[in-house]
Amino acid sequence: MVSLMKMKLFFIPVLISCFIITPVQSQTIKSVDLKNSKKISPDLFGLFFEDINYAADGGLYAEQIQNRSFEYSPSEKKEWNPLSYWEYITPGYSYGSISVETTAPINGNNPHYIVLNAEHIGKEEKYVGQSGVGIKNAGFAGIVVRAGEQYNFSGFAKQLSVNPVTLTVSLQNTKGEILAESSISIASNNWKKYTTSLTAKAGFDTAALVILATTPGKFALDVISLFPEKTFKNRVNGLRPDLAQLLADMKPKFIRFPGGCLAHGDGLGNMYRWKNTIGPVEERVEQRNIWGYHQTAGLGYYEYFQFCEDIGAKPLPVLPAAVSCQNSGGTWRVGGTGQKAIPMNEMREYTQEVLDLVEWANGPVTSVWGAKRAAAGHPAPFNLQYVGIGNEDKITPEFEERFKMIYNAVKEKHPEITIIGTVGPSPKGDDFEKGWKLAGNLKVPMVDEHYYTSPEWFMGNQTRYDSYKRNETQVYLGEYASWGNKLRNAIAEAAYMTALERNGDVVRLSSYAPLFAKNNFTQWKTDMIFFDNVKVSPTPNYYVQKMFASNSGDIYFSNVVSKDNADTALAASCVQDSKTGDVVLKLVNFGKESKTMKINLSGFKKINGEAEQITLTGSPDAENNLVNSNNVVPVTAVFKAGKQFNYQCSPLSLTVIRIKTK
């Protein structure tokens, strides 16, 4: 009844060409006062990247070989060892031996390698096919080979016998048919990198790499790698183009890396130490992934910063606050009592490690760490602006002492860096309170809030940030998601995101989490993009994030959209991008019935009547999967906008309307 009365007062709907546009009788609406606006963060919507669910190795990182450096170990999975995912093969009645060695590795960081001794290469008349002694690797559930495309093989090898050894390198389908082939001769008594490229004459989705010694001899092998020539932006040691492109399409303003819990690690020895992840891949330190598998660090800090630059996103590295995850050792089962702290006598060195990251990213090529960046191929600075210290750590006295040390050191040496503190894993509670208190005492510029909760929570807590103090510590909503990847989850998140925009003067950054999940390799159920080796399935949540991030603004207008404020299923925002002048409306209806919102753009001098309208709608339980990846996708149309109009929001929908003002 109330809403009907309001509607009568507001407007008399008149249908023109479609159900959506209803011009408003001008005498019933006053010009909108554009002074009723505020500046908001230009970096509000970004991405959270963590190597969880095989997001990096086996995912975004385009390396095709699994366990390329023979570093898999039972401490990662009890059934793993250095030969996991490798098969020793002796086709054609050949014989020899294989062993895993550690006595003379390429680099101490990468201790295991294999020694193959091809004693006899079979030459039986009745045998059809390749004979030899070697190894086979089927990657992460198969290597995708596409007809006509090029694959770049590389491997380190050392001749151990008197004679050089000839190796054939091939890609084979599951019947052993050769899709691509090349050969190399191992003729160096020292470790040497050998490369060759393979062009596929036929395609196959679950191929394997086969390396066979076809002449007798003994040799060592390590860091055996296969990359498709086509990586994102054709970068060497690059990224899978389809997955990277999905991220680029979102136009995220920043990318957080490397996590999540991966950053602070499962015990002190498992922390993500950035220096271990730069430089030649064969010298990087591989380690156990906190999510129960293996990290090659092939997608390390350099590749991450390069990717940020490639897609125009700011880097946002999160470094451990010198304490490990409180759940280390599986202690989440007994209340998260597993936090370990770097001893105080090592803290000066650790603090320097944090400072060195800033120098590596931003320092001149003449600086120690800037020179390493330049040597890797990037003399220009990366313009690092944000650094996170800690990830949802338990706020203990040990944490506080170490955080303070790191914070003070970075603040003193790099006042230009925005340091982001941490306030626990929940939207409230002990760590949240203590983390905020610490941030207030130290005047930390920003803190990282995390919450994974129900769609109803997101709908019911849209005023959360309305009362946050404006001129004190600001907020990075670093991890959030509603439990699920159905449309209703995504629309609840969309409603919440309009509240983030409304509070974009205090919430400066936000990122949905986690980002990627490889089918059958997941540790976390609700994710933004599902994929397998061939296909991708962006969730409705992805589309919501994309619609917001690629239509963000830096000025917020509080009085352009009017709606029935008593209707808690409705949410809306209006922003302007000061660079383009475009005005963007985001209209959300979480309800079961269509609802009208009233738009008043009369305060803008000029608007272009041909606007872009993107709508995401469908049934509440609709979701995408790898078989039907297009169940829920946004639909784009031209929208005839007037200075004042009414918009009929479909049930369960997010609509973005982008209007040019220049």
Query: Can residue 524 be called a binding residue for ligand AHR (CB under 6 A)?
Result: yes
- Compute the CA torsion angle 367, 369, 372, 376 (nearest 10 deg): -110
Shortest Å, Cβ 394 to ligand AHR: 12
Question: Where in 170-189 is the site for ligand AHR (CB under 6 A)?
Answer: none
Query: Using CB under 6 A, which of 67, 295, 391, 551 touches ligand AHR?
Result: 391
CB atoms within 10 A of CB 212: 25
Shortest Å, Cβ 260 to ligand AHR: 3
CB atoms within 10 A of CB 37: 18
| Integer Cα distance of 24 and 4 in angstroms | 16
Residue 621: which residues within 8 A CB-CB, separation 6 or more? Answer: 486, 487, 488
Helix (H), strand (E), coil (C) string for 564-591: CCCCCCEEEEEEECCCCCCEEEEEEECC
Task: Give me 614's structure tokens.
Answer: 């993107």
Shortest Å, Cβ 397 to ligand AHR: 22
Return the number of the residue (246 or 528) whose C-beta is nearest ligand AHR: 528
Residue 502 Cα to chain centre, angstroms: 25
- Using only C-alpha atoms, what is the Rg of the chain? 28
> How many residues are there in the chain?
662
Query: Can residue 50 be called a binding residue for ligand AHR (CB under 6 A)?
Result: yes
Query: Can residue 286 be called a binding residue for ligand AHR (CB under 6 A)?
Result: no
- For ligand AHR (CB under 6 A), the number of binding residues is 12
| Integer Cα distance of 396 and 406 in angstroms | 15
| Integer Cα distance of 518 and 531 in angstroms | 5
Q: Which residue is nearest to ligand AHR (CB)?
A: 260
Return the number of the residue (425 or 455) whose C-beta is nearest ligand AHR: 425
**Contacts with ligand AHR, 419-458, as mask; x by CB under 6 A:** ------x---------------------------------
Helix (H), strand (E), coil (C) string for 365-396: CCCHHHHHHHHCCCCCCCCCCEEEECCCCCCC
Report which DSSP code applies to 32.
P
Return the number of the residue (91 or 260) whose C-beta is nearest ligand AHR: 260
> Considering Cα of 165, then 171, then 177, then 183, what sign does the dihedral take?
negative
Task: List the beta bridge partners of residue 287.
Answer: 295
Residue 21 Cα to chain centre, angstroms: 38
Shortest Å, Cβ 449 to ligand AHR: 11
- Please, how many CA atoms are within 13 Å of residue 151, restricted to the half-sphere of its CB? 32
Shortest Å, Cβ 524 to ligand AHR: 5
Contact 364, 372 (CB under 8 A): no
Query: Using CB under 6 A, which of 20, 32, 40, 52 touches ligand AHR?
Result: 52
Return the number of the residue (41 or 391) whose C-beta is nearest ligand AHR: 391
Shortest Å, Cβ 327 to ligand AHR: 8
| Integer Cα distance of 93 and 133 in angstroms | 9
Mode of pairing for the β-strands spanning 595-600 and 644-649: antiparallel
CA angle 71, 77, 79 (to 5 degrees): 90
DSSP 510-579: EEES--EEETT--S-S--SEEE-SS-EEE-HHHHHHHHHHTT--SEEESSSEE--TT-TTEEEEEEE-TT
* Active-site entry in 63, 71, 392, 398: 392
541 φ/ψ angles, rounded to the nearest 5 degrees: -65, -35
Question: Where in 479-498 is the site for ligand AHR (CB under 6 A)?
Answer: 479
One-letter identity of residue 358:
V
Shortest Å, Cβ 388 to ligand AHR: 11
Return the number of the residue (388 or 553) whose C-beta is nearest ligand AHR: 388
Return the number of the residue (228 or 424) whose C-beta is nearest ligand AHR: 424
Question: Where in 141-160 is the site for ligand AHR (CB under 6 A)?
Answer: none
Residue 334: which residues within 8 A CB-CB, separation 6 or more? Answer: none
Return the number of the residue (320 or 553) whose C-beta is nearest ligand AHR: 320
Residue 611 Cα to chain centre, angstroms: 31
Return the number of the residue (92 or 338) whose C-beta is nearest ligand AHR: 338
| Integer Cα distance of 540 and 8 in angstroms | 35
Contact 94, 132 (CB under 8 A): yes
Task: List the beta bridge partners of residue 294.
Answer: 288
Question: Where in 224-263 is the site for ligand AHR (CB under 6 A)?
Answer: 259-261
Shortest Å, Cβ 392 to ligand AHR: 5
Return the number of the residue (327 or 573) whose C-beta is nearest ligand AHR: 327
Active site residue 392: yes
Return the number of the residue (425 or 504) whose C-beta is nearest ligand AHR: 425
Shortest Å, Cβ 329 to ligand AHR: 16
Return the number of the residue (260 or 338) whose C-beta is nearest ligand AHR: 260
Give the position of tokens 């890609």: 171
Give the position of tokens 């290597």: 143
Shortest Å, Cβ 291 to ligand AHR: 8
Shortest Å, Cβ 61 to ligand AHR: 18
Q: Where are any strands of DSSP class E within 290-408? A: 293-295, 314-319, 386-389
Q: Give kind and range of the element (H or E) at residue 362.
A: helix 347-362
Catalytic residue annotation: 392
Residues near ligand AHR, by CB under 6 A: 50, 52, 259-261, 391-392, 425, 479, 513-514, 524
